[in-house]
Amino acid sequence: MQTRRLKMRRARGMTLIEIIVVITILALLTAAVTVAVIPQLDAAKCKTAKEDIATLMNGLKIYYAKKGNYPDTGTGLKALIDSQIVEKTKDPWDSDYLYLNEGGKPAITSYGKDKAPGGEKWDADISSKNLDQACKD
């Protein structure tokens, strides 16, 4: 009789307390992982933007070697895509890289996480003019 009750009790599943404990543990694990991962995600996106800008600058050099001049500001990086030198011109935050040709000196900029000029840390602009200083803690 007693073994029959034990079998029936085990077949019922988890108690409410056990479910609450499991959910609490999962919430704590999620919070800990989030706190550890989010800053690394921002750093990875910043590094990707720096590498993209360097690649786009190399693409501009190839374009210059083929055409004898850099694209004008109006044409921008679209000229690199049209020439099949690069495939994408969006930064890791899904905004277009900004291209400016000032007197034959091209510059490429991403406004960073906040998608606005200026900012600090992960919101700071990343430019071909400051690649070494960009994304510093």
Q: Is the pLDDT of residue 99 over 90?
A: yes
- Inside any domain, residue 9: no
Q: Does residue 7 belong to any structural domain of this protein? A: no
Closest by alpha carbon to 78, among 94, 99, 48?
99
Mean pLDDT of 111-123: 86
Going edge to edge, which strands form the sheet with 105-110? 98-102, 105-110, 126-127
Q: How confident is the model at residue 11 (pLDDT cuts 50, 70, 90)?
A: low
Supply 5's token pair: 């009750």
Q: Would the pLDDT of 1 be above 60?
A: no
pTM: 0.74
**Could you list the residue range(s) of the whole structural domain that residue 95 is in?**
15-127
Q: What six digits make up the tokens of 1? A: 């009789």
Q: Residue 98: give its domain's CATH number.
A: 3.30.700.10
Q: Which amino acid is at 40?
A: Q
What pLDDT shows up at residue 137?
59
User: pLDDT confidence of 130, banded at 50, 70, 90?
Assistant: confident
Average pLDDT for 44-66? 93
In a domain, 134, yes or no: no
SS3 track for the chain: CHHHHHHHHHHCCCCHHHHHHHHHHHHHHHHHHHHHHHHHHHHHHHHHHHHHHHHHHHHHHHHHHHHCCCCCCCCCCHHHHHCCCCCCCECCCCCECEEEEECCEEEEEECCCCCCCCCCHHHCCEECCCCCCCCCC
Q: Is 133 among the domain residues?
A: no
Confidence of residue 6 (pLDDT cuts 50, 70, 90): low
pLDDT confidence tier of residue 133, bands split at 50, 70 and 90: confident
d(C-alpha 65, C-alpha 83), whole Å: 12
Number of domains in the chain: 1
Averaged pLDDT for residues 98-122: 89
66 domain residue, yes or no: yes
Give me the pLDDT at residue 51, please. Answer: 93
